[in-house]
Structure 1
Amino acid sequence: MAGRIHRYSVRLEWTGNRGEGTASYRSYSRDHRLSVPGKPAIEASADPAFRGDVARWNPEEMLIASLSACHQLWYLHLAAEAGVVVMAYEDAAEGEMRESEDGGGAFERVVLRPRVTIWAKSDAAKAQALHHDAHARCFIARSVNFDVACEAEIVVAAPQSPSS
């Protein structure tokens, strides 16, 4: 049986015309708005290194955020199935992009650093091993052409019930 097809649509609107459009490289803002019906818009820009607004999300940050969120969602799903009770999950993901001589560039690596707190009665070794499976199933990680590493930390919570 063939896999299901999922389609995603995002509207992008450039909001950076300062009155003269792209008359010169410095005449326009890189600001834009990303939107999907029924959800808050994301005010975005370029990385500040490329004349963007530091207060807005840039595509590079969104790529790293997508990898981090996808891994987290798969991890929580797999943990629930495996009987590993996750009490908290946070990640401090980082990525490296190298610019090329022609002005383009490409990501070379992203490192996810999830810190997962599990219930005291959960199996810490199983909790650690689930990161491998989460990575293998992550739609985003499977779609990129660079290394995505996972340096996970498992923390065992003080003994108590998961509903306390």
Structure 2
Amino acid sequence: MAGQQHHYQVRVQWQGGRDTGTTGYRDYGREHQLSAPGKAPIEGSADPAFLGDADRWNPEELLVGSLSACHKLWYLHLCAEAGVIVLAYEDHAEGEMDAALGRFTRVILRPHITLSADSSEQRARELHEKAHENCFIAASVNFVVECQPVFVRKGACHG
């Protein structure tokens, strides 16, 4: 993989001109659509705190989602190589942004992972650190990305 260049093209088309454009901060919509060739579009806007539409994805949510998805993809890859059998994976990721600083301060990944009965939980836990080291998105941000995994076993009793 070293030395390979990958290129990504995304089109962002603003939909909030409202015939008046940017005549004032409250006069235009934040609605936009993200698209890429051959993929379903994503309806986007700003965070409602910045006059956006709460029913659409905002860039902050997409950043948190990108970190979560990248970590998950690396984690599953590493588990497959290590013989750790993951049967289910669901992350409950959260990001913290300080608007006064104008940046994210951290993201916490909270994956809930179901392992097969014979998979090593210790090894499964260790692979999260390696997944973080390999995640392209995490390596590209300037804030802390924490991982707090929770493991369960398929068929295990919960009390």
User: Residues 18-97 of structure 1 correspond to what in structure 2 (within 5 A)?
Assistant: 18-97=18-97
> How far is the alpha carbon of 1:3 from its aligned partner?
1.6
**What is the alpha-carbon distance in structure 1 between the residues aligned to residue 89 and residue 2 of structure 2?**
33
Equivalent residue in structure 2 for 1:134, among 131, 134, 139: 131
Whichever residue aligns with residue 118 of structure 2, its letter is: K
- Identity among equivalent positions (%) equals 59
Alpha-carbon distance in 1 for matches of 2:139, 2:97: 18
The whole-number CA distance in structure 2 between the counterparts of 1:55 and 1:114 is 25
Aligned equivalent of 1:162: none
| RMSD, matched Cα | 1.3
- Runs of 5+ consecutive residues of structure 2 not aligned to the other structure: none
Name the aligned partner's letter for residue 18 of structure 1: R
AA paired with 1:89? Y
Whole-Å Cα distance in 2 between the matches of residues 78 and 158 of structure 1? Answer: 24
Alignment of 1:112-127 (within 5 A): 112-127=109-124
> Match of 1:122, SS?
coil
**Contact between 1:124 and 1:156, CA under 8 Å: does it hold in 2?**
no
Q: Report Cα offsets for 1:122-155 as digits up to 9, x if no partner.
A: 1111111110110010000000000000001111
* Whole-Å separation in 2 of the counterparts to 1:79 and 1:126: 9
Q: Which residue does the alignment assign to 1:3?
A: 3
- The unaligned stretches of length 5 or more in structure 1 are 160-164
With normalisation by structure 1, the TM-score equals: 0.92
Which residue type is aligned with residue 58 of structure 2? N
- The 8 Å contact of residues 35 and 41 in structure 1, kept in 2 or not, is answered as yes
SS in 1 for 2:97: strand
Query: Taking structure 2 as the reference length, what is the TM-score of the superposition?
Result: 0.95
**SS where residue 27 of structure 2 aligns?**
coil
Are 2:148 and 1:151 equivalent residues in the alignment?
Answer: yes
In 1, Cα distance between equivalents of 2:2 and 2:95? 33
Q: Which of structure 1's runs of 4+ aligned residues deviate more than 3 A?
A: none
Instruction: Give the C-alpha shift of residue 2 in structure 1.
Output: 5.3
SS in structure 1 opposite 2:38? coil
**SS at 1:76's partner residue?**
helix
